């Protein structure tokens, strides 16, 4: 195996990245994101070839490389099993690829939990609270949410990303309070430390404050209209962007440290 770095490009020169490398990078991302479970089969060759848009020979070469690294077990006739989901433990021979895997792994964790598990729990909680709020919210609840939105609009105008956590928290908490379910509030308080860490990591990404404010407006308007369907749609849209923002931050950190970028296309 070549010792030449296989991930990314130099700032002022182009380094060719093979299709096999790209498949390996994508698999590392999917594992870090929690798409597969340990000791369970990953999708079939046919499914992965279609998802990655590569040939069978390219896919098999990438899978073999990941098997040698200790990530997978390829069993003839019975499929491919995920053996490890901690990328820091893998025997990735290429230095830059190993470092990329570690950067992504760290960004896909919040404290000691998977980002994907946090997002799943948060989405279910916020949708349940929104549904309850559609039937229970008082005019005073709507005023509290509108006040949180006003504060968010101000920090967007003033370009103060350091204030995003407080105003974002105020909006989401006021939505939870509008459900008038004390257990939803307790559940929200349980995930607040992870919410704070998530915001801390991405609050200064370009467009972050404005995009969050826009979707908060949509969620609020759906509540005013008592539209459960629209509320669910916008909550899923909002939470669905978080993984992408985390990957953007991972790419920035990797480039800052190595002068290269991680590709997941």
Per-residue model confidence (pLDDT) at position 159: 92
CA separation (Å) from 136 to 124, 141, 206? 18, 9, 36
Cα 39 to Cα 81: distance, rounded to the nearest angstrom = 6
CA nearest neighbour of 257 among 45, 131, 100? 100
Residue 243, token pair as written in the block = 């993984």
Q: What is the pLDDT of residue 188?
A: 96
On whether the pTM is more than 0.75, the answer is no
Query: Which of 27, 26, 28, 6 minimizes the C-alpha distance to 18?
Result: 6
pLDDT at position 89 is 64
115, 243 Cβ separation under 8 angstroms: yes
Give strand pairing partners of 80: 74
Please report, for residues 32, 92, 114, the alpha-carbon distance to residue 40 in angstroms, rounded to integers and kept in the order given: 15, 21, 18
- Give the chain's domains with CATH numbers: 19-107 (1.10.10.10), 113-247 (1.20.120.530)
pLDDT of residue 15: 36
Q: What is the SS3 assignment for 109?
A: strand
Report the C-alpha gap between 140 and 143 in whole angstroms. Answer: 5
Residues of the chain with pLDDT under 50: 1-17, 264-265
Q: How many CB atoms lie within 10 A of CB 256?
A: 8
Residue 111 and residue 194: Cα distance in Å, rounded?
A: 7
The tokens for 183 are 């257990």
Q: How many alpha carbons lie under 13 Å from residue 228 in its C-beta half-sphere? A: 10
Tokens read off for 144: 């509290």
């Amino acid at each position: 195996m070549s010792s030449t770095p296989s991930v990314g490009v130099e700032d002022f020169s182009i380094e060719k990245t093979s299709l096999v490398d790209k498949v390996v990078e994508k698999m590392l991302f999917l594992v870090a994101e929690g798409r597969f479970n340990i000791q369970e089969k990953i999708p079939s060759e046919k499914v992965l070839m279609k998802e990655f848009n590569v040939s069978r020979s390219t896919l098999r070469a990438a899978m073999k490389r990941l098997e040698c690294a200790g990530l997978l077990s390829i069993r003839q006739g019975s499929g491919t099993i995920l053996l490890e989901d901690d990328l820091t433990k893998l025997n990735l021979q290429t230095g830059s690829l190993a470092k990329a895997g570690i950067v992504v792994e760290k960004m896909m964790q919040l404290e000691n939990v998977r980002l994907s598990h946090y997002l799943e729990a948060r989405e279910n909680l916020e949708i349940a609270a929104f549904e309850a709020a559609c039937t229970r919210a008082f005019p005073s609840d709507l005023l509290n949410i509108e006040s949180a939105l006003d504060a968010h609009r101000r920090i967007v105008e003033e370009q103060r990303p350091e204030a995003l956590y407080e105003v974002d928290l105020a909006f989401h908490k006021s939505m939870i309070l509008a459900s008038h379910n004390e257990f939803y509030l307790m559940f929200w308080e349980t995930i607040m430390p992870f919410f704070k860490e998530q915001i801390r990591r991405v609050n200064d990404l370009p467009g972050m404050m404005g995009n969050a404010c826009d979707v908060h407006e949509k969620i609020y308007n759906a509540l005013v209209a008592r539209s459960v369907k629209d509320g669910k749609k916008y909550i899923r849209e909002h939470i669905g962007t978080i993984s992408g923002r985390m990957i953007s931050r991972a790419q920035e950190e990797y480039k800052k440290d190595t002068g290269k970028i991680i590709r997941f296309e």
